């Protein structure tokens, strides 16, 4: 009988699927539940990192606080790691990502862990949604990027335009259409892409916003490789080598009407191309 690893490898054509059973625990700065989820990762899909763990911590805490199983939406889901943790706690999760490899990875991981996570390929900036969720969460690309390199395959997971807000702004602008009245939105982002703007935009739409937790992360290869731009753009002082990454938690205002909500249609319309 073939081992689990053999069976998973046989699910891909190039045999390069990465098994992350132990690695996820290794990058965690916090104690995760003992039976952590098992992960595979197709090539170039974002490997869960310190920011993923920060998101995981806030999302699991939010689910812990709620009495009823949450209907949840993860934007920019990568491997689906945080979605899987949420589903394991009883949430009914839809996970979206614009990258085909990511969507395939999420489906593999949902099967591997036998958890009800529905993966959809969608661009969060244009996706059509027909319902709102109790809990919406995202660790989107937020790294300021000098030139228009967003279409490059490798930078899709982190490049976010000159000010790092190419995905953050659309999330903020669409938040009231994604989060149910009284529901929760959790966004992880760096101080390089200005959390204060995120907070301001969400408050303007009536959300109650707090920065729940921040961690200082040493610059990795991506940020180290664009130091001249970051300094020139005034995003960091010369000599800075760490970024502060924060989990922003926003509660949607209670609303009078239920517009935008219909359970008769697929919640997220999938991209065809």
Ligand X SMILES: C[S@@+](CC[C@H](N)C(=O)[O-])C[C@H]1O[C@@H](n2cnc3c(N)ncnc32)[C@H](O)[C@@H]1O
User: What residue ranges bind ligand X (CB under 6 A)?
Assistant: 46, 48, 51-52, 55, 76-79, 81-82, 97-99, 102, 123-125, 139-141, 156-158, 167
In whole angstroms, how close is the CB of 210 to ligand X at the nearest point? 20
- What's the CA gap between 116 and 80, in Å, rounded? 11
Half-sphere exposure of 48 (CA within 13 A, CB side): 34
3-state secondary structure of 51: helix
In whole angstroms, how close is the CB of 37 to ligand X at the nearest point? 12
Q: Quick one: 6 or 60, whose CB is closer to ligand X?
A: 60
In whole angstroms, how close is the CB of 53 to ligand X at the nearest point? 8
In whole angstroms, how close is the CB of 55 to ligand X at the nearest point? 5
In whole angstroms, how close is the CB of 256 to ligand X at the nearest point? 31
Query: For residue 24, is it left (φ>0), alpha (ψ between -120 and 50) or beta?
Result: alpha
Q: Could you tell me which residues are beta bridge partners of residue 72?
A: 93, 135
Q: Quick one: 242 or 258, whose CB is closer to ligand X?
A: 242
In whole angstroms, how close is the CB of 238 to ligand X at the nearest point? 26
Closest CA to 118 of 89, 171, 77: 77
Q: Could you tell me which residues are beta bridge partners of residue 248?
A: 187, 211
Q: Is 258 exposed, middle or buried (0-12, 13-18, 19+ CB in 10 A)?
A: exposed
Closest CA to 127 of 167, 158, 86: 167
- What's the CA gap between 227 and 241, in Å, rounded? 9
The closest residue (CB) to ligand X is: 78
Q: Quick one: 79 or 246, whose CB is closer to ligand X?
A: 79
Q: Quick one: 78 or 164, whose CB is closer to ligand X?
A: 78
Q: Quick one: 231 or 271, whose CB is closer to ligand X?
A: 271
Q: Quick one: 140 or 195, whose CB is closer to ligand X?
A: 140
Q: Is 38 exposed, middle or buried (0-12, 13-18, 19+ CB in 10 A)?
A: middle
In whole angstroms, how close is the CB of 3 to ligand X at the nearest point? 26
Length of the chain in terms of residues written: 273
Q: Quick one: 21 or 255, whose CB is closer to ligand X?
A: 21
CB 179 within 8 Å of CB 45? no
CB 188 within 8 Å of CB 246? yes
CB 209 within 8 Å of CB 203? yes
């Amino acid at each position: 009988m073939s081992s689990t690893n053999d069976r998973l490898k046989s699910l891909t054509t190039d045999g390069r699927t990465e098994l992350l059973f132990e690695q996820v625990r290794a990058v965690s700065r916090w104690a995760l539940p003992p039976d952590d989820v098992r992960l595979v990762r197709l090539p170039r899909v974002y490997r869960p990192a310190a920011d993923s763990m920060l998101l995981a911590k806030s999302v699991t805490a939010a689910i812990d606080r709620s009495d009823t199983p949450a209907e949840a939406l993860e934007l920019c889901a990568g491997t689906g790691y945080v979605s899987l943790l949420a589903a394991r706690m009883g949430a009914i999760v839809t996970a979206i990502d614009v990258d085909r490899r990511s969507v395939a990875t999420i489906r593999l991981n949902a099967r591997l862990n036998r958890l009800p996570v529905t993966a959809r390929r969608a661009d969060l900036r244009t996706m059509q949604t027909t319902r709102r969720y109790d809990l919406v969460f995202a660790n989107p690309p937020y790294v300021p990027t000098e030139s228009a390199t967003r279409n490059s395959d490798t930078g899709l997971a982190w490049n976010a335009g000159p000010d790092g807000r190419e995905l953050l702004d659309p999330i903020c602008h669409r938040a009231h259409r994604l989060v149910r009245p009284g529901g929760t939105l959790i966004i992880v982002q760096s101080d390089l892409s200005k959390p204060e703007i995120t907070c301001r935009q969400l408050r303007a739409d009536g959300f109650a916003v707090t920065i729940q937790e921040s961690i200082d992360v040493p610059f990795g290869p991506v940020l180290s490789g664009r130091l001249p731009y970051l300094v020139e753009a005034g995003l960091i002082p010369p000599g800075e080598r760490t970024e502060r990454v924060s989990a922003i938690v926003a509660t949607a205002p209670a609303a009078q009407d239920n517009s935008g909500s219909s359970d008769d249609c697929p919640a997220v319309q999938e991209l065809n191309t």
